[in-house]
Amino acid sequence: MMNVPIMADVFAQGKKPEYLFFVGSAGSFDDRAKKITRSFVKIMNKYNVDFAVLGTEESSLGDAAKRAGNEFVFQMAALMAIETFNMYEVKKIVTTDPHAFNLLKNEFPGLGGNYEVYHHTEFIDMLLTKNKVNLSESKAFQGKTITYHDSCYLGRANSIYDAPRNILSYLDANIVEMKSHKTKSLCCGAGGSQIFKEDEPGTSRINTVRTKEAIEAKANIVASACPFCMTMLRDGVTEADKNDTMEVLDIAEIVAKGLSL
């Protein structure tokens, strides 16, 4: 059974967890993204990370509102979240959502929310390195070809390119790059609140183009590090009728499988 401490319960015991795991809306409510949340919790449990979640006290950070142009709604949501974080004397935050990561790291300080913020790929890379873990020993991905999709808010927005690739390098698998990667990677099509609106006129959807690059790379697995990218890439794989030969997995799911969790 997974151990998922609730911040209010832990705080009531006079303890202050080292990390707040900010789950995010996708990781809390989307059935597919919940699997990412569970995988990351299993990894933290394995390495005895001192963390807690807010549970029902977690609220939106206002990213979608801000990207859609509603600064007022964003600031109201952000200030409410900051008040909750500060009530629990939060100092360090880790999240599986690059959108939340970007807000917490780069936009919250301007509103008085100053925290040490980690994306889960950075955090997992740190854990594996610290514990000298060799994921290839499980042979869970032996003979597989994996390609990694750079999330816009993780890659170009925050220059986190190495951590996810470091993690994949620990596997007994063939790691390949898509034609567009790192600073020249393609957006999945969900960023900037695009996931919540109808497509604009064009000849093809961005996620369709991106999936074609993964197919051209002859990948069996597309590794993702964002729940929104996960949704768009899975749609692309389905549209290309490749569900039988290609799957989309989050970095946390890959590591959990490699650790046989």
**Per-residue pLDDT at 190:** 62
- pLDDT tens digits for range 7-47: 999 999 999 999 999 999 999 999 999 999 999 999 999 99
How far is Cα 192 from Cα 153, in angstroms, rounded to an integer? 10
Domain 7-123 sits in CATH 2.60.40: no
- pLDDT tens digits for range 97-144: 999 999 999 999 999 999 999 999 999 999 999 999 988 888 889 999
The residues pairing with 6 across neighbouring beta strands, listed in sequence order, are 53
Q: Name the class of domain 134-258.
A: alpha beta
Question: The tokens 């360090």 sit on which residue?
Answer: 92
Give the contacts of 261 (CB within 8 A, at least 6 positions apart). Answer: 39, 42, 43, 46
Cα–Cα–Cα angle for 91, 118, 52, rounded to 5 degrees: 55
Domain boundaries for CATH 3.40.50 within the chain: 7-123, 134-258
Cα–Cα–Cα angle for 246, 157, 105, rounded to 5 degrees: 110
Instruction: For CA atoms 193, 55, 119, 81, give the dihedral sign.
Output: positive
- pLDDT tens digits for range 199-230: 677 677 888 889 999 999 999 999 999 999 99
